[in-house]
Structure 1
Amino acid sequence: MSSSHRDAHPYGRSADDVRRRDQRLRRTRRLRVTQLVVFSALAIALVLVGVYAFGEFRRPAEDPGEIAVGASPTAEDSALVCPQEGDTPADPADVTVRVLNGTSRSGLAGSVTEELGERGFATDKPGNTGSASGAVTIVHGPEGYLAAAAVAAQFRAGDVTPELKLDEKAEGTTVEVLLGDGYRELAAAKKAAAALKEPVAIPEGC
């Protein structure tokens, strides 16, 4: 019997053909397994990216120029520099004010900034905020209490009493004013000027 006849496959294929076919099948299976692993890894990565993106989307975004305002610490548990008995508010020329609009009234921060500039305050670029919790909130640093008192005097109009908040990270005598929906107008210039000559209230704990 010839060699070619001995190697012939029962169905008419040679042994070499069968081996090549088996090798192709094994390569195909390995390729499919590799593809399955790669696609599974990509799917897991996409799910993780989606979860992260959803979390970022739900995180509240800050407005331009927004600052977060927390409860104001007392002098006992903060770095607040306490005023002395008889101290009066700072001279407006020594105070830098930045006004932030927390209302839907377009241009409000800009117009108030202009008015404060006319009253002698140094002014910074106005902006917006989502942290206005009252009609007028005045945020100052540990060394800025007298500066904040000078600014507060400008906003005591009608039944509005500005709220002072301490930001321990703020430096110097720069003050930020957050305007809320209850804000209507500045105090009369003469009334505000007279208030600058009166002693400031001593903060709790001083």
Structure 2
Amino acid sequence: MQRRLIRMGYTRLRAYLVFGVLAIAALVVVVVAVARDSQGDPAASGCPAGMTLVNVTLPREPAQVKLRVLNGTRRAGLADNVSAEFQDRGFKVQPSKDSKTKFAKVALIQYGPKSVGAAQWIRAYFLGEAEPQYNAARTTDVIDIIVGEQFRSLATFTEVNQSMAQIGDPTAPPGSCAAPAGAGV
């Protein structure tokens, strides 16, 4: 009986030692992982100094995209109509207004580092015929669309998908580099 108690004591002691060593090893791994975490550090993303991090991620749903439509033509109410179409498709649309400058082509899409991927998606609604205009100094995530004289209508859902296949995935504009997926730009 006493031998059995002694043997049970050594077994428990051994189990406690193994558990303790595993717990300490896990703690060390967690501390090292937290200390070496570089998700918020732009240099850790491989982006050279002086370059702007941009969000090239395509939005999952229209509600993640903020738009402002400007009328670059002499046609009254055009920006309101285009805004209503985007709003009906689920986009967050700010009040439309007239552009100070007139635009002869289909559309001009103005965007900044926070909306590179979203701007690519919006180009697909114009069948890739909208002219993209990136501005690294732009701090907002709102995309401005100046609708031009050659605009006729927005693409259908199927046409948008086909246009995205032709346009391709968003890429970082010159002088910038893509932020890691999930990084807030």
Fold conserved between structures, TM > 0.5: yes
Q: 2:118 aligns with which of 116, 129, 147?
A: 147
Partners of 1:186 and 1:115 lie apart in 2 by: 8
1:99–1:177 contact (8 Å) kept in structure 2:
yes
Partners of 1:94 and 1:110 lie apart in 2 by: 20
Q: 1:97 aligns with which of 62, 67, 70?
A: 67
Partners of 2:60 and 2:102 lie apart in 1 by: 24
The residue matched to 1:99 in structure 2 has which SS?
Answer: strand
AA in 2 matched with 1:140: Y
Q: How many residues matched?
A: 126
Q: 1:113 aligns with which of 66, 78, 83?
A: 83
Deviant stretches of 4+, over 6 Å: none
Q: TM-score, normalization: structure 1?
A: 0.52
The answer to which of 113-122 and 126-135 deviates more is 126-135
AA in 2 matched with 1:117: Q
2:107–2:146 contact (8 Å) kept in structure 1:
yes
The alignment status of 1:162 with 2:98, answered yes or no, reads no
Identity of aligned residues (%): 29
CA RMSD of aligned residues (A): 2.9
Partners of 2:138 and 2:67 lie apart in 1 by: 13
Post-superposition shift, 1:135? 1.8
Residue matched to 1:186: 154
| Alpha-carbon spacing, 1:148–1:109, altered in 2? closer, same or farther (3 Å) | same
Partners of 2:99 and 2:132 lie apart in 1 by: 16
The residue matched to 2:110 in structure 1 has which SS?
Answer: strand
Unaligned runs of 5+ in 2: 1-48, 178-185
| The structure with more strand, counted as a fraction of residues | 2
